[in-house]
Amino acid sequence: MSAQLFGNYINGEWVTSGSTFENRNPANTDEVVGLFAKGSAADVAAADEAAHAAYPGWSAMAGPARGNLLYKVADILDRKFDSIAADMTREEGKTLPEAKGEVRRAINIFRYFAGEGSRMPGMIVPSERDRVHMFAIPKSIGVVGLVTPWNFPSAIPAWKMAPALICGNTIIVKPASVSPLSAWRIVEACHEAGFPKGVVNFVAGSGGEIGNALVNAKNLKAISFTGSCEIGNWLHGEASKRRLRIQLEMGGKNPTIVLADADFNAAVENTVNAAFFSTGQKCTATSRVIVEDAIYDKFVAAVVERTKKLKVGDGMKPGADIGPAVDAGQLETNLKYIEIGRKEAGEPLCGGNRLTGTGPNGEDLSKGYFCEPTVFAGVTEDMRIAQEEIFGPVLAIMRAKDFADCMRIANGIPFGLSASVQTQNVSRVFDFVYGMEAGLLTVNLPSAGVEYQLPFGGTKDSSFGPKEQGPAAMEFYSDYKTVYLKY
Ligand code: NAP
């Protein structure tokens, strides 16, 4: 059976002309999940014109009416929930339960921002002057470009699309090339929900070509980007030349601090969960564990024992805890850093290899990009595996003298996305909350696994611009018009 062709979506039409690229299953590269129309700079220009033409009507529509369309998108995604989750596992590799969790989150995000359409609070404050009424009303900004990574291929497009749209902007979505189908499904739902033509546009294709065309698109007012620091920093430079608004969410090297008084078993479980689930491919995953000296040896032994029990295999099949790396390039990066780790810290205590044998359900792992979950101990701050983002199932365990030493090590990196502490001591909890240089903090939970109702984003080199999600998401996608009125 030949693979389905998925078109770009421009001005309310599916566009399939031109060349195509393949979307393959990273658990079994024999399977082509879909063929995608490869967008060009001309497609971006057409999408930009369509979004510009649609903007006056969309931005003038009442917020609750925009909200009703977002509710419809959520309902459509809900009806197709199982097949959308299965598509995600097939294109990205995460296990089916993880994919279901992500699709549920995308649906919740659409419902959350649909409700915001009935709120859209402005500001009213008393004037210093007599009989002057002063207030500020929120206002949309125009055509917005949304560039998304492969690791949360449904949730991240959702958490950019929904607030951008509810605030009255029109959008051009550029999904990651290795997992475009999940975002395409959301755009398909927008089409079915009956959005006016040109409000939502979707152009898949080479990041370099589409990204360059997008940042130079005539009518573009803002770009929201999630992905690597390398691309984000480049985009920042280009966007600054045109004075575009820009929001960047980028890499991390997230620590979990484990103190001697922690609930030991929970700390082990939280660490292993945060390091290895989703194959370590969450931006909020733990890649460094900093352990207080008093429990260091016992903790290392327990993490290694737990890690060895993880089952690596095709995420579509029952019982797999961890799926494959998303593509050959990410697998190569994992293996490269494992070699760097071997040179820096010695042989890993478990893992360390590509898996090519038989999986837990009899699947042939050599057809996919599977890597053993890998634990290095005795890692020190100066090592590359303690400083650089790997974005795979590779964990570095570090020894610290005491809590102050843990905090010093945890903060000793350029990134500041997420961080976790495992302790029963409330004073340490607050010292961590106020002293940790990261945008997302967890206490006695894994460092990864956030919801959508509060601001999301990092600090230091991990992020730039206003936060995403929760009420804070509206800041980036809207502006204020301030009115002084004498009556
Ligand atoms: P990436 O390589 O930077 O790609 C991200 C997106 O940018 C993709 O859609 C990519 O398209 C596109 N792109 C590539 N070149 C571009 C250019 N010159 N101009 C504009 N866009 C361009 O990142 P990734 O490998 O997909 O994702 C992994 C990274 O994302 C990790 O560093 C991770 O930490 C980060 N991340 C951060 C967060 C967060 O919230 N902080 C969340 C998730 C992921 P192509 O796919 O076509 O190349």
- For residue 197, the model assigns a pLDDT of 98
- For residue 312, the model assigns a pLDDT of 98
pLDDT tens digits, residue range 322-367? 999 999 999 999 999 999 999 999 999 999 999 999 999 999 999 9
pLDDT tens digits, residue range 195-206? 999 999 999 999
Q: How far is the CA of 339 from the centre of ligand 1 (A)?
A: 24
Residue range 132-154: average pLDDT? 97
Return the percentage of the chain with pLDDT > 90, whole number: 98
**Residue 387's pLDDT band (cuts 50, 70, 90):** very high
Residue nearest to atom 35 of ligand 1 (CA): 227
Q: What residues does ligand 1 touch, defined as CB less than 6 Å away?
A: 147-152, 174-177, 206-208, 211-212, 226-228, 231, 234-235, 249-252, 283, 389, 391, 417, 458, 462
Which of the 8 DSSP states describes residue 473?
H
Kindly state the tokens that stand for 64: 């609750």
In ligand 1, which atom is closest to the CA atom of 234? 18
Mutation pick for ligand 1 pocket among 226, 247, 452 (CB with most ligand atoms within 8 Å): 226
**Residue 18's pLDDT band (cuts 50, 70, 90):** confident
- Is 468 a catalytic site residue? no
The kind and range of the H/E element at 45 are: helix 41-60
For 64-106, the DSSP string reads: HHHHHHHHHHHHHHHHTHHHHHHHHHHHH---HHHHHHHHHHH
- Name the maximum alpha-carbon separation found in the chain: 80
pLDDT tens digits, residue range 58-102? 999 999 999 999 999 999 999 999 999 999 999 999 999 999 999
Which residues, at least 6 apart from 65, have a Cβ–Cβ distance to it below 8 Å?
A: 117
**Residue 127's pLDDT band (cuts 50, 70, 90):** very high
Residue 11, CB-side half-sphere exposure with 13 Å CA sphere = 11
Mutation pick for ligand 1 pocket among 147, 184, 238, 390 (CB with most ligand atoms within 8 Å): 147
pLDDT tens digits, residue range 220-278? 999 999 999 999 999 999 999 999 999 999 999 999 999 999 999 999 999 999 999 99
| H helical segments located in 242-351 | 264-276, 296-308, 328-345
Strand partners, 245: 222
Q: Of the listed 91, 249, 344, 372, which one is catalytic?
A: 249
Return the percentage of the chain with pLDDT > 70, whole number: 100
- For residue 1, the model assigns a pLDDT of 61
- For residue 17, the model assigns a pLDDT of 80
- For residue 318, the model assigns a pLDDT of 92
**Nearest Cα to Cα of residue 97 among 285, 308, 318:** 318
In ligand 1, which atom is closest to the CA atom of 175? 9
- For residue 398, the model assigns a pLDDT of 98
Question: What rounded mean pLDDT belongs to the chain?
Answer: 97
